[in-house]
Protein backbone atom coordinates (compact mmCIF):
# COMPACT_ATOMS: atom_id res chain seq x y z
CA UNK A 1 0.00 0.00 0.00
CA UNK A 2 1.32 3.43 -0.99
CA UNK A 3 0.64 6.75 0.76
CA UNK A 4 2.87 9.18 -1.16
CA UNK A 5 1.53 11.77 -3.61
CA UNK A 6 3.53 10.22 -6.46
CA UNK A 7 2.90 6.51 -6.01
CA UNK A 8 3.98 3.76 -8.32
CA UNK A 9 1.75 0.85 -9.28
CA UNK A 10 4.08 -1.89 -10.46
CA UNK A 11 1.52 -4.67 -9.92
CA UNK A 12 -0.85 -3.23 -12.52
CA UNK A 13 1.47 -3.96 -15.46
CA UNK A 14 -0.38 -1.32 -17.50
CA UNK A 15 1.53 1.87 -18.23
CA UNK A 16 -1.53 3.79 -19.42
CA UNK A 17 -3.45 2.96 -16.24
CA UNK A 18 -0.46 3.75 -14.01
CA UNK A 19 -0.08 7.22 -15.58
CA UNK A 20 -3.80 7.92 -15.21
CA UNK A 21 -3.78 6.95 -11.55
CA UNK A 22 -0.74 9.13 -10.80
CA UNK A 23 -2.50 12.12 -12.36
CA UNK A 24 -5.70 11.31 -10.49
CA UNK A 25 -4.16 11.25 -7.02
CA UNK A 26 -2.32 14.50 -7.73
CA UNK A 27 -5.46 16.39 -8.82
CA UNK A 28 -8.23 14.91 -6.65
CA UNK A 29 -8.79 14.08 -3.00
CA UNK A 30 -8.54 10.33 -3.43
CA UNK A 31 -8.98 8.39 -0.20
CA UNK A 32 -8.45 4.87 -1.53
CA UNK A 33 -8.15 2.88 -4.73
CA UNK A 34 -8.94 -0.82 -5.10
CA UNK A 35 -7.86 -2.80 -8.13
CA UNK A 36 -9.42 -6.23 -8.67
CA UNK A 37 -7.96 -8.52 -11.27
CA UNK A 38 -10.39 -10.40 -13.52
CA UNK A 39 -12.48 -13.09 -11.86
CA UNK A 40 -14.33 -15.93 -13.63
CA UNK A 41 -17.25 -14.34 -15.46
CA UNK A 42 -16.17 -10.78 -14.56
CA UNK A 43 -13.65 -8.27 -15.89
CA UNK A 44 -11.12 -6.27 -13.88
CA UNK A 45 -12.68 -3.65 -11.59
CA UNK A 46 -11.04 -0.45 -10.33
CA UNK A 47 -12.82 1.35 -7.47
CA UNK A 48 -11.72 4.94 -6.84
CA UNK A 49 -12.96 6.29 -3.51
CA UNK A 50 -13.02 10.11 -3.33
CA UNK A 51 -14.10 12.43 -0.56
CA UNK A 52 -16.41 14.71 -2.58
CA UNK A 53 -19.42 13.79 -4.74
CA UNK A 54 -18.59 16.34 -7.43
CA UNK A 55 -15.11 14.88 -7.78
CA UNK A 56 -16.52 11.36 -8.13
CA UNK A 57 -19.05 12.48 -10.76
CA UNK A 58 -16.44 14.45 -12.70
CA UNK A 59 -13.91 11.64 -12.66
CA UNK A 60 -16.50 9.05 -13.74
CA UNK A 61 -17.22 11.16 -16.84
CA UNK A 62 -13.57 11.36 -17.98
CA UNK A 63 -12.81 9.87 -21.44
CA UNK A 64 -10.13 7.57 -20.03
CA UNK A 65 -12.82 5.71 -18.06
CA UNK A 66 -14.42 4.64 -21.35
CA UNK A 67 -11.00 3.89 -22.84
CA UNK A 68 -10.13 1.58 -19.95
CA UNK A 69 -13.45 -0.21 -20.40
CA UNK A 70 -13.31 -0.55 -24.18
CA UNK A 71 -9.60 -1.16 -24.79
CA UNK A 72 -8.41 -2.80 -21.59
CA UNK A 73 -11.63 -4.34 -20.18
CA UNK A 74 -11.10 -2.54 -16.87
CA UNK A 75 -14.32 -1.21 -15.35
CA UNK A 76 -13.96 1.93 -13.24
CA UNK A 77 -16.34 2.87 -10.42
CA UNK A 78 -15.84 6.29 -8.82
CA UNK A 79 -17.66 6.66 -5.51
CA UNK A 80 -17.77 9.40 -2.87
CA UNK A 81 -17.46 8.99 0.89
CA UNK A 82 -21.10 9.23 2.01
CA UNK A 83 -22.36 6.79 -0.61
CA UNK A 84 -19.57 4.28 -0.05
CA UNK A 85 -20.02 4.08 3.71
CA UNK A 86 -23.81 3.91 3.33
CA UNK A 87 -23.53 0.99 0.91
CA UNK A 88 -21.07 -0.70 3.23
CA UNK A 89 -23.46 -0.33 6.18
CA UNK A 90 -26.20 -2.02 4.13
CA UNK A 91 -23.88 -4.88 3.24
CA UNK A 92 -23.89 -4.15 -0.49
CA UNK A 93 -22.26 -7.19 -2.20
CA UNK A 94 -20.46 -5.04 -4.80
CA UNK A 95 -18.63 -3.07 -2.11
CA UNK A 96 -17.97 -6.17 -0.04
CA UNK A 97 -16.42 -7.90 -3.06
CA UNK A 98 -14.35 -5.16 -4.66
CA UNK A 99 -13.24 -3.03 -1.70
CA UNK A 100 -11.48 -5.65 0.41
CA UNK A 101 -7.96 -5.00 1.79
CA UNK A 102 -6.11 -7.36 -0.60
CA UNK A 103 -7.32 -5.23 -3.54
CA UNK A 104 -6.13 -1.87 -2.09
CA UNK A 105 -3.38 -0.22 -4.15
CA UNK A 106 -3.53 3.32 -2.71
CA UNK A 107 -4.61 4.99 0.52
CA UNK A 108 -4.44 8.57 1.78
CA UNK A 109 -5.96 8.98 5.24
CA UNK A 110 -5.48 12.75 5.05
CA UNK A 111 -8.10 12.89 2.28
CA UNK A 112 -10.82 11.10 4.25
CA UNK A 113 -11.83 8.09 6.30
CA UNK A 114 -10.58 4.88 4.67
CA UNK A 115 -12.91 1.92 4.29
CA UNK A 116 -11.57 -1.08 6.18
CA UNK A 117 -13.41 -4.36 5.63
CA UNK A 118 -12.27 -6.80 8.28
CA UNK A 119 -15.36 -8.99 8.65
CA UNK A 120 -15.41 -12.49 7.24
CA UNK A 121 -18.34 -14.32 5.66
CA UNK A 122 -19.73 -15.51 8.97
CA UNK A 123 -20.05 -11.94 10.25
CA UNK A 124 -21.25 -10.57 6.92
CA UNK A 125 -23.74 -13.18 5.69
CA UNK A 126 -26.78 -11.72 7.48
CA UNK A 127 -26.34 -8.45 5.58
CA UNK A 128 -25.95 -10.36 2.31
CA UNK A 129 -29.16 -12.31 2.87
CA UNK A 130 -30.96 -9.10 3.86
CA UNK A 131 -29.83 -7.53 0.56
CA UNK A 132 -31.15 -10.56 -1.33
CA UNK A 133 -34.43 -10.44 0.56
CA UNK A 134 -35.00 -6.79 -0.38
CA UNK A 135 -34.63 -7.71 -4.02
CA UNK A 136 -36.93 -10.74 -3.82
CA UNK A 137 -39.63 -8.91 -1.88
CA UNK A 138 -39.66 -5.95 -4.27
CA UNK A 139 -39.76 -8.28 -7.24
CA UNK A 140 -42.58 -10.37 -5.81
CA UNK A 141 -44.74 -7.29 -5.16
CA UNK A 142 -44.26 -5.97 -8.70
CA UNK A 143 -44.84 -9.39 -10.25
CA UNK A 144 -48.06 -9.81 -8.27
CA UNK A 145 -49.36 -6.48 -9.55
CA UNK A 146 -48.50 -7.49 -13.10
CA UNK A 147 -50.23 -10.87 -12.86
CA UNK A 148 -53.36 -9.14 -11.61
CA UNK A 149 -53.36 -6.92 -14.71
CA UNK A 150 -52.94 -10.00 -16.93
CA UNK A 151 -55.96 -11.60 -15.26
CA UNK A 152 -57.95 -8.43 -15.93
CA UNK A 153 -56.85 -8.51 -19.61
CA UNK A 154 -55.61 -4.92 -19.35
CA UNK A 155 -53.23 -5.28 -22.30
CA UNK A 156 -51.72 -1.79 -22.37
CA UNK A 157 -51.25 -1.73 -18.60
CA UNK A 158 -49.63 -5.17 -18.66
CA UNK A 159 -46.87 -3.90 -20.95
CA UNK A 160 -46.28 -0.76 -18.91
CA UNK A 161 -46.13 -2.95 -15.78
CA UNK A 162 -43.59 -5.19 -17.52
CA UNK A 163 -41.59 -2.08 -18.39
CA UNK A 164 -41.50 -1.10 -14.72
CA UNK A 165 -40.54 -4.64 -13.65
CA UNK A 166 -37.76 -4.82 -16.23
CA UNK A 167 -36.60 -1.39 -15.05
CA UNK A 168 -36.50 -2.79 -11.51
CA UNK A 169 -34.36 -5.71 -12.71
CA UNK A 170 -32.03 -3.32 -14.50
CA UNK A 171 -31.66 -1.33 -11.27
CA UNK A 172 -30.22 -4.39 -9.55
CA UNK A 173 -28.08 -5.48 -12.50
CA UNK A 174 -26.54 -2.00 -12.67
CA UNK A 175 -26.04 -1.92 -8.93
CA UNK A 176 -24.41 -5.36 -8.84
CA UNK A 177 -22.22 -4.94 -11.95
CA UNK A 178 -21.52 -1.21 -12.23
CA UNK A 179 -21.85 -0.23 -8.58
CA UNK A 180 -24.73 2.23 -9.01
CA UNK A 181 -28.00 2.64 -10.90
CA UNK A 182 -28.47 4.89 -13.92
CA UNK A 183 -32.25 5.31 -13.77
CA UNK A 184 -32.21 8.79 -15.32
CA UNK A 185 -31.53 7.14 -18.68
CA UNK A 186 -34.13 5.33 -20.82
CA UNK A 187 -34.37 1.54 -21.12
CA UNK A 188 -32.57 1.49 -24.49
CA UNK A 189 -29.55 3.34 -23.13
CA UNK A 190 -29.52 1.32 -19.91
CA UNK A 191 -29.50 -1.98 -21.80
CA UNK A 192 -26.73 -0.79 -24.11
CA UNK A 193 -24.76 0.47 -21.12
CA UNK A 194 -24.90 -2.97 -19.47
CA UNK A 195 -23.69 -4.94 -22.49
CA UNK A 196 -19.93 -4.53 -21.76
CA UNK A 197 -20.56 -5.78 -18.21
CA UNK A 198 -23.06 -8.51 -19.09
CA UNK A 199 -22.67 -9.51 -22.76
CA UNK A 200 -25.28 -12.25 -22.35
CA UNK A 201 -27.99 -9.64 -21.73
CA UNK A 202 -28.07 -9.26 -25.53
CA UNK A 203 -29.76 -12.66 -25.70
CA UNK A 204 -32.97 -11.18 -24.35
CA UNK A 205 -33.48 -8.10 -26.52
CA UNK A 206 -33.98 -8.05 -30.28
CA UNK A 207 -32.44 -4.91 -31.72
CA UNK A 208 -34.34 -2.52 -33.94
CA UNK A 209 -31.12 -0.61 -34.68
CA UNK A 210 -27.88 0.27 -32.87
CA UNK A 211 -29.71 2.36 -30.32
CA UNK A 212 -33.11 0.79 -29.64
CA UNK A 213 -34.91 -2.52 -29.21
CA UNK A 214 -38.13 -4.17 -30.30
CA UNK A 215 -39.52 -4.48 -26.76
CA UNK A 216 -38.85 -0.87 -25.79
CA UNK A 217 -40.71 0.15 -28.94
CA UNK A 218 -43.59 -2.06 -27.81
CA UNK A 219 -43.60 -0.45 -24.36
CA UNK A 220 -43.70 3.02 -25.95
CA UNK A 221 -46.61 1.88 -28.10
CA UNK A 222 -48.48 0.72 -24.98
CA UNK A 223 -47.89 4.06 -23.25
CA UNK A 224 -49.17 5.93 -26.28
CA UNK A 225 -52.22 3.67 -26.34
CA UNK A 226 -53.00 4.53 -22.72
CA UNK A 227 -52.58 8.25 -23.38
CA UNK A 228 -54.82 8.13 -26.44
CA UNK A 229 -57.32 5.62 -25.08
CA UNK A 230 -56.49 2.97 -27.66
CA UNK A 231 -55.92 -0.72 -26.89
CA UNK A 232 -53.00 -2.49 -28.56
CA UNK A 233 -53.49 -6.12 -29.55
CA UNK A 234 -50.17 -7.75 -28.76
CA UNK A 235 -51.25 -10.00 -25.88
CA UNK A 236 -49.63 -12.94 -27.68
CA UNK A 237 -46.33 -11.33 -26.63
CA UNK A 238 -47.07 -11.60 -22.89
CA UNK A 239 -45.19 -14.88 -22.59
CA UNK A 240 -42.25 -13.62 -24.67
CA UNK A 241 -41.87 -10.51 -22.50
CA UNK A 242 -42.19 -12.73 -19.44
CA UNK A 243 -39.30 -14.85 -20.72
CA UNK A 244 -37.18 -11.71 -21.09
CA UNK A 245 -37.98 -10.60 -17.56
CA UNK A 246 -37.26 -14.08 -16.20
CA UNK A 247 -33.91 -13.98 -18.02
CA UNK A 248 -32.99 -10.72 -16.28
CA UNK A 249 -34.13 -12.17 -12.96
CA UNK A 250 -31.85 -15.18 -13.54
CA UNK A 251 -28.92 -12.87 -14.36
CA UNK A 252 -29.42 -11.15 -11.01
CA UNK A 253 -29.48 -14.48 -9.18
CA UNK A 254 -26.35 -15.61 -11.03
CA UNK A 255 -24.54 -12.40 -10.14
CA UNK A 256 -25.56 -12.64 -6.48
CA UNK A 257 -24.30 -16.24 -6.37
CA UNK A 258 -20.97 -15.22 -7.92
CA UNK A 259 -20.46 -12.32 -5.50
CA UNK A 260 -21.34 -14.58 -2.59
CA UNK A 261 -18.76 -17.12 -3.74
CA UNK A 262 -16.02 -14.48 -4.13
CA UNK A 263 -16.77 -12.90 -0.77
CA UNK A 264 -16.60 -16.29 0.94
CA UNK A 265 -13.38 -17.15 -0.82
CA UNK A 266 -11.87 -13.69 -0.29
CA UNK A 267 -9.24 -13.93 -3.03
CA UNK A 268 -8.75 -13.02 -6.68
CA UNK A 269 -8.81 -15.71 -9.30
CA UNK A 270 -7.45 -15.82 -12.81
CA UNK A 271 -10.12 -15.52 -15.48
CA UNK A 272 -10.73 -18.49 -17.72
CA UNK A 273 -11.03 -18.09 -21.48
CA UNK A 274 -14.07 -19.72 -23.05
CA UNK A 275 -14.17 -20.20 -26.82
CA UNK A 276 -17.46 -21.01 -28.50
CA UNK A 277 -17.29 -23.73 -31.09
CA UNK A 278 -19.72 -25.04 -33.65
CA UNK A 279 -19.92 -28.29 -35.49
CA UNK A 280 -18.94 -28.38 -39.14
CA UNK A 281 -20.93 -30.72 -41.38
CA UNK A 282 -18.46 -31.15 -44.25
CA UNK A 283 -15.74 -29.38 -46.20
CA UNK A 284 -18.17 -27.79 -48.67
CA UNK A 285 -20.22 -26.35 -45.84
CA UNK A 286 -17.07 -25.08 -44.14
CA UNK A 287 -16.10 -23.35 -47.38
CA UNK A 288 -19.60 -21.89 -47.69
CA UNK A 289 -19.49 -20.38 -44.21
CA UNK A 290 -16.06 -18.85 -44.83
CA UNK A 291 -17.20 -17.41 -48.17
CA UNK A 292 -20.35 -15.91 -46.67
CA UNK A 293 -18.41 -14.29 -43.84
CA UNK A 294 -16.00 -12.62 -46.26
CA UNK A 295 -18.80 -10.53 -47.76
CA UNK A 296 -21.51 -10.52 -45.08
CA UNK A 297 -21.35 -9.60 -41.39
CA UNK A 298 -23.64 -12.43 -40.38
CA UNK A 299 -24.81 -12.77 -36.80
CA UNK A 300 -25.89 -16.37 -37.29
CA UNK A 301 -26.20 -18.94 -40.08
CA UNK A 302 -28.69 -21.81 -39.98
CA UNK A 303 -28.55 -24.89 -42.21
CA UNK A 304 -32.27 -25.60 -42.28
CA UNK A 305 -32.41 -28.20 -45.06
CA UNK A 306 -30.25 -30.18 -47.45
CA UNK A 307 -31.04 -32.57 -50.27
CA UNK A 308 -28.94 -35.11 -52.14
CA UNK A 309 -29.98 -36.52 -55.52
CA UNK A 310 -27.34 -38.71 -57.04
CA UNK A 311 -24.12 -36.71 -56.84
CA UNK A 312 -25.89 -33.35 -56.58
CA UNK A 313 -26.26 -31.79 -53.13
CA UNK A 314 -28.18 -28.64 -52.21
CA UNK A 315 -27.73 -26.65 -48.99
CA UNK A 316 -30.47 -24.37 -47.67
CA UNK A 317 -29.08 -21.56 -45.49
CA UNK A 318 -30.73 -18.77 -43.51
CA UNK A 319 -28.46 -15.80 -42.83
CA UNK A 320 -29.39 -13.48 -39.98
CA UNK A 321 -27.54 -10.35 -41.01
CA UNK A 322 -28.01 -6.68 -41.75
CA UNK A 323 -27.88 -5.10 -45.17
CA UNK A 324 -28.01 -8.25 -47.28
CA UNK A 325 -30.16 -7.46 -50.29
CA UNK A 326 -31.24 -9.84 -53.01
CA UNK A 327 -28.50 -8.67 -55.39
CA UNK A 328 -25.84 -9.51 -52.82
CA UNK A 329 -27.48 -12.90 -52.23
CA UNK A 330 -27.39 -13.56 -55.97
CA UNK A 331 -23.68 -12.69 -56.22
CA UNK A 332 -22.92 -14.72 -53.12
CA UNK A 333 -24.75 -17.74 -54.51
CA UNK A 334 -22.80 -17.49 -57.76
CA UNK A 335 -19.54 -17.29 -55.82
CA UNK A 336 -20.43 -20.36 -53.77
CA UNK A 337 -21.39 -22.38 -56.83
CA UNK A 338 -18.18 -21.33 -58.56
CA UNK A 339 -16.10 -22.60 -55.65
CA UNK A 340 -18.11 -25.73 -54.91
CA UNK A 341 -18.55 -26.97 -58.46
CA UNK A 342 -21.55 -28.21 -60.42
CA UNK A 343 -22.30 -30.98 -57.93
CA UNK A 344 -23.35 -28.50 -55.24
CA UNK A 345 -26.02 -25.84 -55.05
CA UNK A 346 -27.02 -23.28 -52.43
CA UNK A 347 -30.33 -21.72 -51.50
CA UNK A 348 -29.78 -18.55 -49.49
CA UNK A 349 -32.33 -16.40 -47.72
CA UNK A 350 -31.34 -13.52 -45.47
CA UNK A 351 -33.15 -11.24 -43.04
CA UNK A 352 -32.29 -8.85 -40.24
CA UNK A 353 -33.11 -10.08 -36.75
CA UNK A 354 -35.40 -7.11 -36.15
CA UNK A 355 -37.28 -7.75 -39.42
CA UNK A 356 -37.92 -11.36 -38.43
CA UNK A 357 -39.11 -10.32 -34.98
CA UNK A 358 -41.43 -7.66 -36.39
CA UNK A 359 -42.98 -10.11 -38.86
CA UNK A 360 -43.44 -13.12 -36.58
CA UNK A 361 -47.19 -12.55 -36.59
CA UNK A 362 -47.08 -13.70 -40.23
CA UNK A 363 -44.01 -15.92 -40.45
CA UNK A 364 -43.43 -17.49 -37.03
CA UNK A 365 -44.46 -20.95 -38.27
CA UNK A 366 -41.70 -20.82 -40.88
CA UNK A 367 -38.90 -19.29 -38.83
CA UNK A 368 -39.54 -21.24 -35.63
CA UNK A 369 -38.82 -24.48 -37.50
CA UNK A 370 -35.56 -23.11 -38.87
CA UNK A 371 -34.14 -21.13 -35.96
CA UNK A 372 -33.27 -24.04 -33.72
CA UNK A 373 -30.00 -24.97 -32.05
CA UNK A 374 -29.74 -28.18 -34.08
CA UNK A 375 -29.63 -26.11 -37.29
CA UNK A 376 -27.15 -23.47 -36.11
CA UNK A 377 -23.82 -23.82 -37.92
CA UNK A 378 -22.32 -20.40 -37.23
CA UNK A 379 -22.71 -17.69 -34.63
CA UNK A 380 -20.58 -14.56 -34.33
CA UNK A 381 -21.06 -14.62 -30.55
CA UNK A 382 -22.82 -16.29 -27.66
CA UNK A 383 -25.04 -13.34 -26.77
CA UNK A 384 -27.38 -12.89 -29.72
CA UNK A 385 -30.94 -12.37 -28.47
CA UNK A 386 -33.52 -15.09 -28.63
CA UNK A 387 -36.63 -14.19 -30.57
CA UNK A 388 -39.72 -13.14 -28.66
CA UNK A 389 -41.87 -15.99 -29.98
CA UNK A 390 -45.61 -15.30 -29.96
CA UNK A 391 -47.56 -17.58 -27.62
CA UNK A 392 -50.18 -18.64 -28.32
CA UNK A 393 -49.69 -18.34 -32.05
CA UNK A 394 -52.19 -19.55 -34.61
CA UNK A 395 -50.61 -19.56 -38.09
CA UNK A 396 -52.86 -18.05 -40.72
CA UNK A 397 -52.62 -17.70 -44.47
CA UNK A 398 -53.53 -14.03 -44.62
CA UNK A 399 -53.51 -13.02 -48.29
CA UNK A 400 -53.46 -16.56 -49.71
CA UNK A 401 -56.78 -16.13 -51.49
CA UNK A 402 -55.55 -12.98 -53.23
CA UNK A 403 -52.30 -14.73 -54.20
CA UNK A 404 -54.28 -17.65 -55.63
CA UNK A 405 -56.61 -15.41 -57.62
CA UNK A 406 -53.70 -13.38 -59.01
CA UNK A 407 -51.91 -16.57 -60.06
CA UNK A 408 -55.10 -17.96 -61.58
CA UNK A 409 -55.87 -14.80 -63.54
CA UNK A 410 -52.29 -14.71 -64.84
CA UNK A 411 -52.67 -18.31 -66.05
CA UNK A 412 -55.95 -17.42 -67.80
CA UNK A 413 -54.33 -14.44 -69.48
CA UNK A 414 -51.41 -16.62 -70.56
CA UNK A 415 -53.67 -19.26 -72.12
CA UNK A 416 -55.67 -16.57 -73.90
CA UNK A 417 -52.50 -15.14 -75.44
CA UNK A 418 -51.09 -18.60 -76.22
CA UNK A 419 -54.17 -19.46 -78.30
CA UNK A 420 -52.81 -20.26 -81.78
CA UNK A 421 -55.84 -18.57 -83.38
CA UNK A 422 -54.67 -15.21 -82.07
CA UNK A 423 -51.43 -15.34 -84.06
CA UNK A 424 -49.95 -12.78 -81.69
CA UNK A 425 -47.91 -13.99 -78.75
CA UNK A 426 -46.07 -10.72 -78.12
CA UNK A 427 -45.13 -10.63 -74.43
CA UNK A 428 -46.05 -14.27 -73.84
CA UNK A 429 -42.71 -14.93 -72.16
CA UNK A 430 -43.40 -12.18 -69.63
CA UNK A 431 -46.77 -13.64 -68.70
CA UNK A 432 -45.21 -17.08 -68.40
CA UNK A 433 -42.52 -15.70 -66.08
CA UNK A 434 -45.12 -13.79 -64.06
CA UNK A 435 -47.16 -16.97 -63.66
CA UNK A 436 -44.12 -18.95 -62.51
CA UNK A 437 -43.16 -16.28 -59.96
CA UNK A 438 -46.75 -16.04 -58.71
CA UNK A 439 -47.08 -19.81 -58.47
CA UNK A 440 -43.86 -20.21 -56.47
CA UNK A 441 -44.63 -17.44 -53.99
CA UNK A 442 -48.19 -18.68 -53.51
CA UNK A 443 -47.21 -22.34 -53.13
CA UNK A 444 -44.45 -21.52 -50.64
CA UNK A 445 -46.84 -19.31 -48.68
CA UNK A 446 -49.52 -22.00 -48.60
CA UNK A 447 -47.13 -24.70 -47.40
CA UNK A 448 -44.80 -22.80 -45.06
CA UNK A 449 -46.59 -19.54 -44.07
CA UNK A 450 -43.66 -17.60 -45.55
CA UNK A 451 -43.77 -15.39 -48.64
CA UNK A 452 -40.36 -14.66 -50.19
CA UNK A 453 -39.69 -11.51 -52.16
CA UNK A 454 -37.61 -10.83 -55.29
CA UNK A 455 -35.55 -14.00 -55.25
CA UNK A 456 -34.30 -15.65 -58.42
CA UNK A 457 -36.64 -18.13 -60.11
CA UNK A 458 -34.28 -21.02 -59.39
CA UNK A 459 -34.19 -20.21 -55.66
CA UNK A 460 -37.97 -19.82 -55.58
CA UNK A 461 -38.39 -23.24 -57.16
CA UNK A 462 -35.91 -24.78 -54.73
CA UNK A 463 -37.94 -23.30 -51.87
CA UNK A 464 -41.04 -24.87 -53.43
CA UNK A 465 -39.26 -28.22 -53.37
CA UNK A 466 -38.27 -27.58 -49.74
CA UNK A 467 -41.95 -26.97 -49.00
CA UNK A 468 -43.12 -30.02 -50.95
CA UNK A 469 -40.64 -32.55 -52.32
CA UNK A 470 -43.35 -34.00 -54.60
CA UNK A 471 -42.97 -30.99 -56.88
CA UNK A 472 -39.71 -32.44 -58.15
CA UNK A 473 -41.73 -34.61 -60.48
CA UNK A 474 -42.08 -31.54 -62.71
CA UNK A 475 -38.33 -31.05 -63.10
CA UNK A 476 -38.39 -33.15 -66.27
CA UNK A 477 -40.50 -30.45 -67.95
CA UNK A 478 -37.90 -27.82 -67.20
CA UNK A 479 -35.25 -30.10 -68.68
CA UNK A 480 -37.13 -30.19 -72.00
CA UNK A 481 -36.97 -26.42 -72.31
CA UNK A 482 -34.55 -25.14 -74.98
CA UNK A 483 -31.61 -23.68 -73.09
CA UNK A 484 -31.50 -23.06 -69.35
CA UNK A 485 -35.08 -22.85 -68.07
CA UNK A 486 -34.31 -20.66 -65.06
CA UNK A 487 -32.04 -18.38 -67.05
CA UNK A 488 -34.97 -17.86 -69.43
CA UNK A 489 -37.26 -16.91 -66.54
CA UNK A 490 -34.77 -14.57 -64.88
CA UNK A 491 -34.15 -12.87 -68.22
CA UNK A 492 -37.81 -11.96 -68.57
CA UNK A 493 -38.15 -10.58 -65.09
CA UNK A 494 -36.97 -7.34 -66.73
CA UNK A 495 -38.28 -5.62 -69.86
CA UNK A 496 -36.70 -6.29 -73.26
CA UNK A 497 -38.15 -3.97 -75.89
CA UNK A 498 -38.24 -6.26 -78.91
CA UNK A 499 -40.46 -8.68 -80.77
CA UNK A 500 -41.25 -12.06 -79.25
CA UNK A 501 -40.41 -15.23 -81.19
CA UNK A 502 -41.49 -18.66 -79.88
CA UNK A 503 -41.66 -21.98 -81.63
CA UNK A 504 -44.87 -23.99 -81.46
CA UNK A 505 -43.09 -26.62 -79.36
CA UNK A 506 -41.86 -23.99 -76.90
CA UNK A 507 -45.35 -22.54 -76.49
CA UNK A 508 -46.86 -25.99 -75.96
CA UNK A 509 -44.26 -26.75 -73.30
CA UNK A 510 -45.01 -23.47 -71.52
CA UNK A 511 -48.72 -24.29 -71.63
CA UNK A 512 -48.08 -27.72 -70.13
CA UNK A 513 -46.00 -26.23 -67.30
CA UNK A 514 -48.66 -23.63 -66.49
CA UNK A 515 -51.40 -26.26 -66.59
CA UNK A 516 -49.62 -28.75 -64.34
CA UNK A 517 -48.35 -26.21 -61.81
CA UNK A 518 -51.74 -24.49 -61.73
CA UNK A 519 -53.41 -27.82 -60.97
CA UNK A 520 -50.85 -28.60 -58.25
CA UNK A 521 -51.61 -25.28 -56.57
CA UNK A 522 -55.38 -25.78 -56.76
CA UNK A 523 -55.07 -29.33 -55.38
CA UNK A 524 -53.07 -27.99 -52.45
CA UNK A 525 -55.33 -25.06 -51.62
CA UNK A 526 -58.74 -26.53 -52.44
CA UNK A 527 -57.99 -30.13 -51.54
CA UNK A 528 -56.28 -29.08 -48.33
CA UNK A 529 -59.13 -26.67 -47.55
CA UNK A 530 -56.71 -23.87 -46.75
CA UNK A 531 -59.37 -21.26 -47.49
CA UNK A 532 -62.94 -20.80 -46.36
CA UNK A 533 -65.82 -22.36 -48.32
CA UNK A 534 -66.76 -19.16 -50.16
CA UNK A 535 -63.20 -18.64 -51.37
CA UNK A 536 -62.85 -22.30 -52.40
CA UNK A 537 -66.04 -22.07 -54.47
CA UNK A 538 -64.61 -18.97 -56.15
CA UNK A 539 -61.45 -20.84 -57.10
CA UNK A 540 -63.35 -23.90 -58.32
CA UNK A 541 -65.47 -21.74 -60.59
CA UNK A 542 -62.49 -20.65 -62.64
Where in the chain are the domains?
10-111, 121-265, 283-379, 400-540
Question: Using omega within 30 degrees of 0 as the cis cutoff, is the peptide bond preceding 381 cis?
Answer: no
Task: List the beta bridge partners of residue 222.
Answer: none
Which stretch of DSSP H or E encloses residue 49?
strand 44-50
Give the CATH class of 121-265. Answer: mainly alpha
Helix pair 53-60, 81-89: axis angle to 10 deg: 100
Strands (E), 173-216: none
The per-residue pLDDT for 497 is 66
CA–CA separation, 344 vs 143, rounded Å?
53
Which stretch of DSSP H or E encloses residue 189?
helix 187-194
Per-residue confidence of the chain (542 residues) as pLDDT tens digits? 333 345 666 567 788 898 899 889 888 889 999 999 887 777 899 999 999 999 999 999 999 999 999 999 999 999 999 999 999 999 999 999 999 998 999 998 888 889 989 889 999 999 999 999 999 999 999 999 999 999 988 888 999 999 999 999 999 999 999 999 986 689 999 999 999 999 999 999 999 999 999 999 999 998 888 888 887 777 788 999 999 999 999 999 999 999 999 999 874 333 332 223 333 347 899 999 999 999 999 999 999 999 888 778 999 999 999 989 888 999 999 999 999 998 999 999 999 999 999 999 999 999 999 999 999 999 998 889 999 999 988 888 888 989 999 999 999 999 988 887 666 667 788 899 999 999 999 999 999 999 998 899 999 999 999 999 999 999 989 988 888 898 888 887 777 667 667 677 888 999 999 999 999 999 999 888 887 777 776 765 55
CA–CA separation, 320 vs 310, rounded Å?
31
CATH code for the domain defined by 283-379: 3.30.300.90
Give, in order, the Cα–Cα distances in Å from 300 to each of 294, 318, 370: 14, 8, 12
Task: List the beta bridge partners of residue 42.
Answer: 39
CA–CA separation, 164 vs 171, rounded Å?
10
Strands 298-309 and 104-107: unpaired
Task: Specify the pTM.
Answer: 0.77
| b/e code 309-347 from CB counts within 10 Å (16+ = b) | eeeebbbbbbbbbbebebebbbebbebbeeebeeebbbb
* One-letter-per-residue 3-state SS of 496-513: CCCCCCCCHHHHHHHHHH
Q: What is the dihedral of CA 275, 278, 279, 281, to 10 degrees?
A: -140
The per-residue pLDDT for 270 is 35
Which DSSP state fits 278?
-
Helix pair 238-265, 121-151: axis angle to 10 deg: 180
Amino acid sequence: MKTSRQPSFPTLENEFLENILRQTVSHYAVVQMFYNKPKPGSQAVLVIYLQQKQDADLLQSRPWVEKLKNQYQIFVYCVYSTRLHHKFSLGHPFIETYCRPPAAIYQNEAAGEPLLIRRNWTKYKEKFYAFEERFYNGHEVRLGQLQKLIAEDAVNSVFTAYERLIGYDLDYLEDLYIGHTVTLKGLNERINNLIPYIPEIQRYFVRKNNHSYYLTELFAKAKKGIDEGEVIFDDDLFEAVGIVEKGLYDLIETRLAALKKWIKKGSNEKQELCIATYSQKDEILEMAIATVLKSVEAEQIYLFHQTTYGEHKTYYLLLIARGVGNEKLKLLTQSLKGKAGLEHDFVLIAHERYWIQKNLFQYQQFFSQIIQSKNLIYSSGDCHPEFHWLKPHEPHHGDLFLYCKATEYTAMQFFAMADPDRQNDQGLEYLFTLFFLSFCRTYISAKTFYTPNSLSCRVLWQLCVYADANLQRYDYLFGQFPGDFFYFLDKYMTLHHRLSHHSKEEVELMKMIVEKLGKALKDLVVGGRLLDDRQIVSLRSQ
